[in-house]
Amino acid sequence: MSSTSSTAELSDVTLRSGIDRSLRHPVMFFLTSAAAWLAVSILLAIVASVKVHWPQFMDDCEYASYGRVFAAHTNTLIYGWGFQAGFGVLIWLMARMSRQECRAAGTILTAGHVWNLVVSLGTLGLLDGRGTGMPWMEFPAFVWPGLLLCYLTIVVWSFIQFRVRKGERTHVAQWYLLAAMIWFPWIFITANGLLFCASGHPLMAAAINAWFKSALMFLYFIPIALGTAYYLAPKLSGRPIPSTSLARLGFWSLAVVAPWAGMQKLAGSPLSGVFLPYLGAAATALLAIPLVTAAANILRTIFSSEEKLPKSPALHFTLAGLMGLLLLAVAAIALNLPGSSLKLTQFSISGYGFEILALYGCFSFMMFGAVYFIVPRITCSEWVSSRFINMHFFFSVYGIVAIAFGALFGGFIQGSAQEAWLQPWESVTDVVRPYAAVSTFAWCVILFSNIFFFIHLAMMWMGLGRRDSNPILLDSPADMSAPIPQPNP
């Protein structure tokens, strides 16, 4: 019996290893390229943040003017880091869950390089002053069709794998990933088509842009993060997801509620449909339902295992991402109460804090978790140093907490200062200055944490990982030279 089982297990191992091998080039490319873009984005974030409290910094360099540098920061964070990390994780997860090898690795790799090229051109154009001025769509207008085509080329193979998958049931993670794959073209085409190809009322264009930001967060990045978490949690803890019906509730509530959110940015403007911003605010507040149900479900999965606190790095980061998710749900409600907080924070840094919380505090942490899970499998080696991982983890958490809380609270203070109409407007910038300084410091801390990540990832990429059958565990003693035999995690 054990020989049959071990033969069957062996063939399963071979299948999964085969999947990993087939994907190793595209996935590794995406992850390392994404990490590089993350570095670029954080540097730009630091420059942009410094410009807020110390405008004379680099003031003779037109490429470093705030409007360009801040736009470049957000756009590289999304299109450079966010999308490419998402691609790497998405195609690996879809392949593994469909148990299909990837046959189009070369095509995907090429599309990835083209994506890099297009985003680089866009960023350079943006820094040169040719940005469009629409938040998160600031790349010059020639960029978006290229991005769309690359996206299709990269993602269509996952569709095919899903269609020919082995196995009857679909896992919760597959729902989220599949949905994200279909939602993104809708959001992207609609927003870019209406804003760049059709001419309409400019105020409505601003509303559509605001909708695009929210939809990209909640219908692409958050579902990918949730899908990753729904995969990693049961996989690493060995425990099942407690309630499929709760998972279903979470998924469908996200699908129904999230497309309505976004236009709350324009509350009070003479938009011809006055109800639209308030619809957006209501939907954003209601997003707490899908976020909290998913977080609750996954947290119960993780903590129902025998270990009190998971030791795997991937689970550490997934937990951090889930905390970010819960914070995001609270912030979504707190920032969208029309009588009080909406009008206070509408034109403040709270919006930025909210976006960074979603993109970094939730999505990026989940992606880091996935990276720490996936890379050993495609390089067939282990991570080298638990200290590096710890540094990466703790400093990232400190940094993101500083930014999120600083920006969210600072936004309220800023809004109150804006409402104090008897004071000159400069007093608002004086009030915001400390929060901008906190933000700069926090981004520096995050950069510091990510240096460890980049070094570690580069080592794995260059084949310097440990050839060992024992994984890195985060409560192991600092001296990893003598690997301690652990039971299979």
Partner 1 sequence: MSVPSEPADSSQPAVATAVPPGHAVVAREKQIPENGNEIISLWPTTIICGALLLLAGFILDYGGDHLSYGSLFREGYVRRTPPGSVATPLPPKTALEAYMARGKKVFEGKCITCHGPDAKGNGSTYPSLVGSAWANGETERFAMIILNGLQGKISNGRIYGVMPPQGIGMTPEELAGIMTYVRNYFGNTKGDVITSEMAKAAMKISAARKNAGQSVTAEELTADHVKALPGNPVDATTLVDPLTLEPVQAAAATAPAKAPVPGAAVAPAASPAPKTP
Partner 2 sequence: MDPTRDNPLLRFNTFWWAVWTFLMFAVLLAAVILFNRKPPSNLEDAAAVARYATKEKLGVAQAAALPAAEIAAAIAKVAAALPAAKPTAVELPEQVVPGSPTAFKLAADTAAPAAAGVSAPPAAGGKNTPTATPPVAPAKP
Segment 184-213, which members bind partner 2 (CB under 8 A)?
185-186, 189-190, 193-194, 197-199
Find which of partner 2, partner 1, none residue 202 binds, CB within 5 to 8 Å per kind: none
- Of 57, 63, 66, 159, the one binding partner 2 (CB under 8 A) is 159
Does 484 help bind partner 2 (rule: CB under 8 A)? no
242 binds partner 1 (CB under 8 A): yes
State the angle between helix axes of 222-237 and 172-192 in degrees (0 to 180), rounded to the nearest 10. Answer: 170
Q: Does 10 bind partner 1 (CB under 8 A)?
A: yes
3-class SS at 304?
A: coil
283 near partner 1, judged by CB under 8 A: yes
**Partner touching 193 among partner 2, partner 1, none, CB below 5 to 8 Å by kind:** partner 2
Three-state DSSP class for residue 332? helix
| Span near partner 1 by CB under 8 A; candidates 73-81, 268-276, 318-326, 404-412 | 268-276
Window contacting partner 2 (CB under 8 A); options: 162-170, 354-362, 381-389, 425-433: 162-170
**Residue 243 contacts partner 1 per CB under 8 A:** yes
Q: Does 165 engage in binding with partner 2 (CB under 8 A)?
A: yes
Total binding residues toward partner 1, as defined by CB under 8 A: 76
Among positions 117, 164, 380, 484, the unique one binding partner 1 when judged by CB under 8 A: 380
Question: Residue 18 or 140: which CB sits closer to partner 1?
Answer: 18
Question: Which residue, 149 or 296, has its beta carbon nearer to partner 1?
Answer: 296
Query: Which tokens in the block code for residue 424?
Result: 């000159």
Return the closest-CA partner of residue 222 out of 355, 311, 119. 355
Residue number with CB closer to partner 1 (40 or 281): 281
Among 4-12, 156-164, 443-451, 476-484, the segment contacting partner 2 (CB under 8 A): 156-164
The two tokens of residue 168 are 């009857």
Residue 79 CA: distances (Å) to CA of 132, 144, 147, 303, 448: 16, 11, 9, 34, 22
The footprint of partner 2 on residues 435-474 (CB under 8 A) is none
CB-based contacts of 313: which residues, under 8 Å, 6+ apart? 369, 372, 383, 386, 389, 393, 472, 473, 474
CB under 8 Å to 151, separation ≥6 — which residues?
83, 115, 184, 185, 188
Among 58, 114, 160, 437, binds partner 2 (CB under 8 A): 160
**φ and ψ of 453, to 5 deg:** -65, -45
**Residue 340 sits in the site that holds partner 1 (CB under 8 A):** no
Q: How far is the CB of 257 from partner 1 (least distance, A)?
A: 9
Minimum distance, C-beta of residue 192 to partner 1, in the bound complex (Å): 24
Of 481 and 488, the one with the shorter C-beta distance to partner 1 is 488
Q: Please tell me whether residue 307 binds partner 1 under the rule CB under 8 A.
A: no
Give dist(CA 24, CA 22) in Å, integer.
Answer: 6
Question: Would you say 277 or 361 has its CB closer to partner 1?
Answer: 277
Which position among 377, 410, 414, 480 is part of the footprint of partner 1 (CB under 8 A)? Answer: 377
Residues with Cβ within 8 Å of 311's Cβ and at least 6 positions away in sequence, in order, are 473, 474, 475, 476, 489
Q: Which of 387, 264, 396 is nearest to 336 (CA)?
A: 264
What does the per-residue mask of binding to partner 1 show for 163-182, with x meaning CB under 8 A?
---xxxxxxx-x--------
Among 133, 202, 270, 477, binds partner 1 (CB under 8 A): 270
The rounded distance, in Å, linking the Cα atoms of 194 and 89 is 30
Neighbouring CB atoms inside 10 A of 62's CB total 11
289 binds partner 2 (CB under 8 A): no
If contact means CB under 5 to 8 A according to the sort of partner, which of partner 2, partner 1, none does residue 274 touch?
partner 1
In one-letter notation, the amino acid at residue 341 is S
Q: Could you tell which of partner 2, partner 1, none binds residue 421, using a CB distance below 5 to 8 A set by kind? A: partner 1
Q: Residue 185's binding partner, choosing from partner 1, partner 2, none, with beta-carbon cut-off 5 to 8 A by kind? A: partner 2
Write out the two tokens for 112.
């990835």
Task: Report the C-alpha gap between 195 and 208 in whole angstroms.
Answer: 8
Residue 393 near residue 316, CB atoms below 8 Å: yes
Which residues contact residue 230 at a Cβ distance below 8 angstroms, ignoring those fewer than 6 apart? Answer: 171, 172, 173, 176, 241, 247, 294, 297, 298
The DSSP annotation for 183-226 comes to: HHHHHHHHHHIIIIIS---HHHHHHHHHHHHHHHIIIIIHHHHH
Least distance in Å: CB of 65 to partner 2?
Answer: 16
Shortest spacing between CB 374 and partner 2, in angstroms: 23
Q: Which is nearer to partner 1, 277 or 353 (CB)?
A: 277
Q: Which 3 state secondary structure label does DSSP give 238?
A: coil
Minimum Å gap between C-beta 385 and partner 1 is 17
CB–CB of 401/465 below 8 Å? no
272 part of the interface to partner 1, by CB under 8 A: yes
Please, which residue, 112 or 262, has the CB nearer to partner 1?
262
Beta strands in 316-400 (DSSP E): none
Size of the site for partner 2 (CB under 8 A): 20
Say which DSSP state 466 is in: B
Residue bearing tokens 């090229």: 117
**Residues near partner 2 (CB under 8 A):** 152, 156, 159-160, 163-168, 182, 185-186, 189-190, 193-194, 197-199
